[in-house]
Amino acid sequence: MNSLPSLRALQVFEAVGRYGGIVEAARRLGISAGAVSQQMRLLEDSLGLSLTFKVGKRIRLTAAGQRYHDSCVAAFEILRIAQVDVERSKSASNLRISALPSLLSDWLAPLIYTWQSDHPELNLFLDGSHAEPAPDGYEIDFRVTYGDYESTEHAIELFRDCVVPVCSPTMLRADAPLRTPADLLAYPLLSIDWLPKFASPPSWRDWFSAQAVDSSQIRDGYRVYSLSSMAVQAAISGQGVVLAQCSMITDALTDGRLIMPFAQALQLPSSYFLVGAKDVFDKAHCRDFHRWLVARGRDQMAINEQLLTRSGAQEE
């Protein structure tokens, strides 16, 4: 065969296989069922074999049809990626950032709007996701992620966070004053568990052990959150005490929604990193943003180190 079938016929076939029938493919493509059937006949005539067969009122792909459909899906996905890449390269005023949801909502977002106010010509797209972008990074400029990375040309450590106990001042009871770390055992203790995606932050058992407090009576499964931001919000609502990441509670501590009864901190097992797409530094605004965010990471690192230093001094 010296020529490929028409692109339209291949698009219709891809939709028929994806959605499992003529009618649904027609609805998704915004054309009539008759037009879909016509394109399917043209494609089969062009190829010289049947791609589908009927089972009741539904259409199924033949074995050859399924193999051909898999190839069509892969080809159209390559075309979609290429289109996104073209659109992205055409717009020099876009900045696309992907970050872990809690870090995005409680640390990055409050900071980044200050930066954007100095760059009103830019369109800012923020994506909160646990899923890491594709290796070629075509859909984002920067990813803020967590784990054991090495600093390279495209990846740099922002900061290593630490956790401290915080709670709402409205939750405190007159019959249970917080004078020593052990007094926290009289209150509900909210937990955070990131497994299996990431190594979890220090637990209450870790924290009490560091304060030389017997924690054998703790209920590990009282209330456990997979998102740090959800646990912090629960603490703000007066539902318990949480070991919160310092980067995520600055505003709540400043305006009094949260208090820190004890300034003893424990470090997270890994750091947050800023990872750039392969061609990100070709754009002046991306270089500017990179410098700015790295500086904000250093600011956060300094805050955390002060807490850790204070914690170490209190333990001596």
Asked if residue 265 lies in contact with residue 256, where contact means CB atoms within 8 angstroms, the answer is no
CATH of domain 7-89: 1.10.10.10
Neighbours of 276 (CB within 10 A): 21
Distance of alpha carbon 98 from alpha carbon 130, whole angstroms: 9
- Mean pLDDT score across all residues of the chain: 87
Higher pLDDT, 261 or 196: 261
Element (H, E) at 38: helix 33-47
Asked if residue 246 lies in contact with residue 165, where contact means CB atoms within 8 angstroms, the answer is no
CATH of domain 91-160+271-305: 3.40.190.10
17-57 pLDDT, tens digit each: 888 888 888 898 899 989 989 999 998 998 888 988 888 77
Distance of alpha carbon 245 from alpha carbon 232, whole angstroms: 9
CA 270, 271, 277, 282: dihedral to nearest 10 degrees?
A: -150
Scan for tokens 């005539």, then name that residue.
45
3-state secondary structure of 164: strand
- Confidence at 1, pLDDT banded by 50, 70, 90: very low
Distance of alpha carbon 69 from alpha carbon 271, whole angstroms: 43
Q: How is residue 94 annotated by DSSP? A: E
From residue 133, alpha-carbon distances to 136, 261, 277 in Å are 8, 39, 10
pTM value is 0.67
Q: Which two tokens stand for residue 112?
A: 């980044």
pLDDT above 90 coverage of the chain, percent:
45
Domain limits, the chain: 7-89, 91-160+271-305, 162-269
CATH topology match: 7-89 vs 162-269: no
CATH class of 162-269: alpha beta
Report the pLDDT value the prediction gives residue 148, as an integer from 0 to 100. 78
57-85 pLDDT, tens digit each: 778 889 998 999 999 989 988 888 777 76
Query: 136-150, 187-201, 285-299: which has the minimum mean pLDDT?
Result: 136-150
Q: What would you report as the CA-atom Rg of the chain, rounded to the nearest whole angstrom?
A: 27
Q: DSSP E strands: which ranges in the chain?
A: 52-55, 58-61, 94-99, 123-128, 142-147, 155-159, 162-166, 189-192, 224-225, 241-245, 266-267, 271-276
